[in-house]
């Protein structure tokens, strides 16, 4: 089947809009929980999840990517991947039980021990998830893929939020996490008829590709999850709770936005890898869409944070405002270059992806330790931003070489979203600065809604004006408009 860059871009746009629904649910959950719980509750669970993230590295071989990249993957490969997932999950769950007491002493948090025992159960169950769901992505059946993911999310949401009202402590988060993992495993067998069997027949074949993904995932952990340990150790549950929620809020429009795009484009890139020119076209189309959607969302979150936090999170979370602003900018920078990894993997360059991730982790870890010791949680946020600023030019050197691309190729695609975002940010910042002394909740809500409307309209008008001035080139703006027109026509046809 021939895949074009435009098809991939349209598919990515569809999934982004679908992801908005899922993340909207997550945002509601976060807001409700932040109102009912305190930073220490989030901190206790974040401590446990940081330990789980370390143990999950045992099985961080990304066998799903190996199955997608291999056009000839069959039952032997799928069954072997599932068997390894089960073995790694059981071993990780056992280690989590063993480490429960020592980690409670490390964090000086006795409540952590019992939390880790229960989460070990969820870890073991998740390992049995049906490997057959990978075929949804491989065959580019993203409607089925995200219905499956959304099913897991809605069940976790339906359990966590009511329990938060009833229990009003961290156990609501623990039980909700367990519910999501149990639901994911059960749903995977309901939505996919494939039934895996125990097998190690394709072990050597899978590890040939996945060994580099293992190193990549270890480096990614050091880069994105080590902050949980450092902040938890120096800032305690309160500091880690603040950092976790700030990261959750700031990442909603960026990393969470880009994640479904990357899930969509990798199978398409893999089918296009034989033709560098076609792959370059697809890469640039997706990069333009990412910039068009993620930049205004990230900088919008940053600029309205002084209004957003008091309204949605409440007085307990005022300290997160500067954290959200720094991490939102960091998220935007991650988003615009996160498209590089799938393209390099599609070209069979997992060693390059792993090497870049390791370099990022090596730069980040000492920066994180030093700045957190000196400046606390704010230092951890700055460590993220500084590291990504250093890594962006390095990352682009490798993707430019791989795709035979020049700087002007990428600049041509993303300069309009950058300029439009700058106009939007300046406009909203002027409005927010005029009303920072407002303390009445009702008026804060009114001003927050007004700031969001001003931001949306200013970005929309600036984007359309720049697009028109450039002669309405075929790019991200056209892809999004085409998608919206098709869906509007479909809905009109269904209503008649």
CB 348 within 8 A of CB 69: yes
- pLDDT value at position 231? 84
C-alpha distances in Å from residue 375, one per residue of 31, 235, 372: 27, 10, 5
Residue boundaries of the structural domains of the chain: 37-224, 225-488
Contacts of residue 403, defined as CB under 8 A and 6 or more positions apart, other chains included, come to 276, 279, 280, 283, 343
Nearest to 250 by CA among 173, 313, 332: 332
Cα 357 from Cα 257, distance rounded (Å): 20
Contacts of residue 386, defined as CB under 8 A and 6 or more positions apart, other chains included, come to 367
Nearest to 142 by CA among 2, 60, 259: 259
Contacts of residue 350, defined as CB under 8 A and 6 or more positions apart, other chains included, come to 209, 212, 213, 216, 344
Return the number of other C-beta atoms located less than 10 Å from residue 50's C-beta. 22
CB 215 within 8 A of CB 354: yes
In order along its 496 residues, the chain shows pLDDT tens digits of 455 545 555 555 555 555 566 666 666 777 777 777 777 787 888 788 877 777 776 655 677 777 877 777 788 889 998 998 899 889 889 999 999 999 888 888 888 899 999 999 998 999 899 988 888 777 767 667 777 877 888 888 888 888 888 888 888 888 988 998 999 899 999 988 899 999 888 887 777 666 666 776 676 666 666 777 788 778 777 888 888 888 878 876 666 566 667 666 777 787 788 888 888 888 888 888 888 888 998 999 999 999 988 888 887 888 999 999 999 999 889 888 888 888 888 888 888 888 888 888 889 889 999 999 998 899 999 999 999 999 999 999 999 999 999 889 889 888 999 999 999 999 999 998 877 666 677 788 888 999 999 999 999 999 999 998 988 887 777 777 776 676 666 666 666 6
CB 376 within 8 A of CB 319: no
pTM score, two decimals? 0.69
The per-residue b/e assignment along 12-46, b for 16 or more CB within 10 angstroms, e otherwise, is: bbbbbebbbebbebebebbbbbbebbbbbbbbbbb
CB 131 within 8 A of CB 194: yes
């Amino acid at each position: 089947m021939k895949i074009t860059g435009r098809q991939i871009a349209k598919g990515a746009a569809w999934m982004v809009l679908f992801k908005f629904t899922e993340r909207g649910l997550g945002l509601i959950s976060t807001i409700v929980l932040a109102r009912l719980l305190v930073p220490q509750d989030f901190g206790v669970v974040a401590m446990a999840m940081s330990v789980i993230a370390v143990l999950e590295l045992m099985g961080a071989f990304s066998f799903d990517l190996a199955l997608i990249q291999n056009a000839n993957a069959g039952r032997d490969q799928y069954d072997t991947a599932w068997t390894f997932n089960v073995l790694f999950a059981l071993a990780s769950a056992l280690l989590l039980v063993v480490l429960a007491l020592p980690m409670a002493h490390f964090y000086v948090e006795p409540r952590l021990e019992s939390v880790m025992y229960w989460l070990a159960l969820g870890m073991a169950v998740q390992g049995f998830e049906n490997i057959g769901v990978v075929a949804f992505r491989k065959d580019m059946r993203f409607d089925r893929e995200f219905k499956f993911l959304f099913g897991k999310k809605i069940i976790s949401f339906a359990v966590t939020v009511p329990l938060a009202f009833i229990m009003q402590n961290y156990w609501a988060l623990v039980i909700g996490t367990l519910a999501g993992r149990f639901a994911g495993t059960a749903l995977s067998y309901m939505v996919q008829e494939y039934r895996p069997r125990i097998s190690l027949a394709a072990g050597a074949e899978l590890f040939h590709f996945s060994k580099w993904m293992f190193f990549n995932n270890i480096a990614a952990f050091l880069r994105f999850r080590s902050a949980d340990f450092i902040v938890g150790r120096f800032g305690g549950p309160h500091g880690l709770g603040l950092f976790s929620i700030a990261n959750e809020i700031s990442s909603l429009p960026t990393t969470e936005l880009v994640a479904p795009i990357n899930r969509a484009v990798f199978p398409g890139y893999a089918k296009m890898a034989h033709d560098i020119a076609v792959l370059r076209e697809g890469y640039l189309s997706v990069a333009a869409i990412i910039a068009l959607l993620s930049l205004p969302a990230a900088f919008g979150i940053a600029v309205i944070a002084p209004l957003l936090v008091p309204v949605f999170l409440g007085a307990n979370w005022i300290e997160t405002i500067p954290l959200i602003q720094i991490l939102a900018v960091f998220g935007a920078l991650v988003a615009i270059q996160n498209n590089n990894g799938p393209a390099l993997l599609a070209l069979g360059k997992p060693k390059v992806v792993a090497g870049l991730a390791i370099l990022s982790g090596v730069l980040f870890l000492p920066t994180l330790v030093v700045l957190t010791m000196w400046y606390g949680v704010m230092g951890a946020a700055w460590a993220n931003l500084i590291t990504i600023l250093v890594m962006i030019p390095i990352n682009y050197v490798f993707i430019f070489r791989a795709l035979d691309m020049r700087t002007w190729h990428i600049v041509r695609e993303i300069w309009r979203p950058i300029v439009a975002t700058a106009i939007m940010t300046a406009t909203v910042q002027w409005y927010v600065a005029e009303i920072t002394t407002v303390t009445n909740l009702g008026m804060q809500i009114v001003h927050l809604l007004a700031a969001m409307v001003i931001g949306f309209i200013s970005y929309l008008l600036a984007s359309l004006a720049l697009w028109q001035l450039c002669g309405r080139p075929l790019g991200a703006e056209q892809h999004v408009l085409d998608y919206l027109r098709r869906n509007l026509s479909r809905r009109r046809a269904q209503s008649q």
